[in-house]
Amino acid sequence: MPAADARLPDTLHPLLRRIYAARGARTPADLDHALSALHDFHGFHGMRAAVVLLAECLERDLKILIVGDFDADGATSSALGVRALRTLGARNVDYLVPNRFDYGYGLTPEIVALAASRRPHLIVTVDNGISSHAGVAAARAAGIRVLVTDHHLPGATLPDADAILNPNLPDDGFPSKCLAGVGVTFYLLLALRAHLRESGWFTQRAIAEPNLAEFLDIVALGTVADLVPLDHNNRVLVAQGLARIRAGQCVPGIQALLHTAQRELAQVTAADLGFVVAPRLNAAGRLTDMSLGIECLLADDAPRARELAAKLDALNRERRAIEAQMRAEALRTLDHMSLDATDAALPFGLCLFNAEWHQGVIGLVAARIKDRVHRPVIAFARAENGQLKGSARSVAGVHIRDVLEAVDTRCPGLITRFGGHAMAAGLSLAAQRYEEFARVFDAEVRGWVKAGDLDGVLYTDGELEPEYLTLECAALLRAAGPWGQTFPEPCFDGVFQILEQRVVGHGHLKLTLAEPRSSARVDAIAFHPVGEHLPPDCRRACVVYRPEVNAWHGESRLQLLVEYIEPVVP
């Protein structure tokens, strides 16, 4: 555990000093969540060309069509673009989101053909487009200009768009490479507003210049949902968005989704956005059409927002049932292979396929199995025209998109298409080449790691001093975020006496623990399947946990959320 950095404020709680230092925070500036701490939009290489395109459309009242992705980042990017452009004076802006089952990912020629029926002058991609060479070409051939905004890693060549905005382009100077798609969209809107202000747009048309900070609730949701690293710039975006949500200054759709999950606005955390709101929003794109989620975010009428949130909640319950069945089938496949995470015969890069699996849920299954076997996993489902669609999830040290690119280079034509990030990616391939791909993928992953690198490692903030095992410190940690990817929520480990244990709900383990140094009693819960292997007669256990505030019927109590537990043999 790194020592607390002396440059952090002396007034900071000692526990927070230790936790922040362990996450690389070294100075007060690292903890500054004011909007003034955001990077300037001028760092984007393609910003000028992008702004000129949009400004021309506004000035000439040309039609703008936003084409988004079918996940929460794409949905928030689309809703943000439509809402903000309208407040900036655009009178002719709409969105289109591909149905994943009919059109697949990105700006494909097929989605361009659908878009062309709406006669747009400009297509703006959000959270996609950086690999859409054919789609961009089809749009331009149809006389439609294209502005690509994306954050995914580019390939060796770029599409021939009129303008491209992506912080991960090789020559881009924007300091933060971790923006989600919604973050890129937000920066584009900041730059457009500045351009319109300088040109006298707002004065000439008697338009009130909008405060774009009003849209940070949407930006925060998309940023957290897409699991991008929460570097300092992203923490500012999320912290500002959370502040607006807690103050009740969020769009009716976010408020309705939180209400559906019985979350109080004033107590909302980044984890609530990631584990409560995002899954409900994503359920639309996974099972039906993300337009439902976008419409929820665009709704200005509270009853309409609640109606759409209820539909999203129902879809999410359906998604959970499908995922549970698919996960069980995947685990049975592993059992049939007689393999577990410690078996040397287990592939380093594991591929799983079931002809009955749902395309929209394979990413969740890949993530669950990855957590169990501690190695990159790709889950495949059947698609159209003899293709399989795969969703990959990776582990630290294995950049999954680069692995797929290496496979594509080694075996040209094996993968039909691919794209993604370091930790998650998607791909398509011909069904008859699945076995070949599985072998090549495993071989490529073996070139990245050694067997020991795939051992499951759980990092903690060490033991928590008995005097900090309190409701007050749990509340302090909750308020000290935002926590997220690469800036993880604090968790601790320690050996506890088990006073009571019982199974509640759907296999969850409710515990009463005693801290041995102070004998203090504390409640804990291990959600299934974390505690499933704890013997009923266990009296001492090593516990990895997060202190949390458990509010129930108006009363708040300390509860430990158990991330991992194992018996301690006397």
- Nearest Cα neighbor of 73 from 150, 16, 4, 137 is 150
Measured CA to CA, the distance from residue 21 to residue 12 in angstroms comes to 12
Do the Cβ atoms of 95 and 68 come closer than 8 Å? yes
* pLDDT tens for each residue of 230-247: 999 999 999 999 999 999
CA distances for 451 relative to 88, 243, 342, 348, 374, angstroms: 54, 44, 10, 8, 11
**Least confident segment among 55-59, 153-157, 471-475:** 153-157
CA 4 to chain centre: 30
Average pLDDT over residues 348-359: 94
Do the Cβ atoms of 57 and 35 come closer than 8 Å? no
pLDDT at 168 over 90: yes
What's the confidence (pLDDT) of residue 440? Answer: 96
138 vs 5, higher pLDDT: 138
**Least confident segment among 83-97, 116-130, 200-214, 525-539:** 525-539
> In which band, very low, low, confident or very high, does the pLDDT at 343 lie, cut at 50, 70 and 90?
low
* pLDDT tens for each residue of 267-290: 999 999 999 999 999 999 999 889
183 vs 485, higher pLDDT: 183
Q: Which residues have a Cβ under 8 Å from the Cβ of 324 and sit 6 or more positions away?
A: none
What's the confidence (pLDDT) of residue 4? Answer: 45
Measured CA to CA, the distance from residue 493 to residue 464 in angstroms comes to 7
Average pLDDT, the chain: 92
What's the confidence (pLDDT) of residue 3? Answer: 45
> In which band, very low, low, confident or very high, does the pLDDT at 67 lie, cut at 50, 70 and 90?
very high
Tokens of 398: 């294995």
Angle at which helix 302-336 crosses helix 252-260, to 10 degrees, equals: 50
Measured CA to CA, the distance from residue 164 to residue 147 in angstroms comes to 6
Q: DSSP character for 506?
A: T
> In which band, very low, low, confident or very high, does the pLDDT at 384 lie, cut at 50, 70 and 90?
confident
Tokens of 519: 């004998």
Tokens 């069904």: give the residue: 431
Measured CA to CA, the distance from residue 84 to residue 189 in angstroms comes to 7
The beta-strand segments (E) located in 151-193 are 163-165
> In which band, very low, low, confident or very high, does the pLDDT at 379 lie, cut at 50, 70 and 90?
very high
Do the Cβ atoms of 382 and 395 come closer than 8 Å? no
Q: Which residues have a Cβ under 8 Å from the Cβ of 159 and sit 6 or more positions away?
A: 129, 130, 131, 132, 133, 135, 136, 137, 146, 148
pTM: 0.91
Characterize the bridge pairing of strands 122-126 and 93-96: unpaired
Please report, rounded to a whole number, the percentage of residues in the chain having pLDDT higher than 70: 97
The one-letter amino acid at 514 = A
Measured CA to CA, the distance from residue 408 to residue 440 in angstroms comes to 10
What's the confidence (pLDDT) of residue 338? Answer: 55
CA 514 to chain centre: 36
DSSP string, 2-64: PPPPTTS-TTS-HHHHHHHHHTT--SGGGG--SGGGSPPGGG-TTHHHHHHHHHHHHHHT--E
453 vs 224, higher pLDDT: 224
Average pLDDT over residues 475-485: 94
CA distances for 307 relative to 293, 340, 419, 545, 562, angstroms: 11, 44, 35, 37, 35
| Cα maximum dimension of the chain | 79
The segment with the largest mean pLDDT, out of 35-39, 102-106, 518-522, is 35-39
106 vs 81, higher pLDDT: 81
Cα 365-388-180 angle, rounded to 5 deg? 55
The number of residues making up the chain comes to: 570
* pLDDT tens for each residue of 492-525: 999 999 999 999 887 899 999 999 889 899 999 9
Q: Which domains does the chain have, with CATH numbers?
A: 45-310 (3.90.1640.30), 337-454 (3.10.310.30), 466-567 (2.40.50.460)
> In which band, very low, low, confident or very high, does the pLDDT at 405 lie, cut at 50, 70 and 90?
very high
Q: DSSP character for 227?
A: T
What's the confidence (pLDDT) of residue 106? Answer: 82
What's the confidence (pLDDT) of residue 339? Answer: 54
Measured CA to CA, the distance from residue 148 to residue 125 in angstroms comes to 5
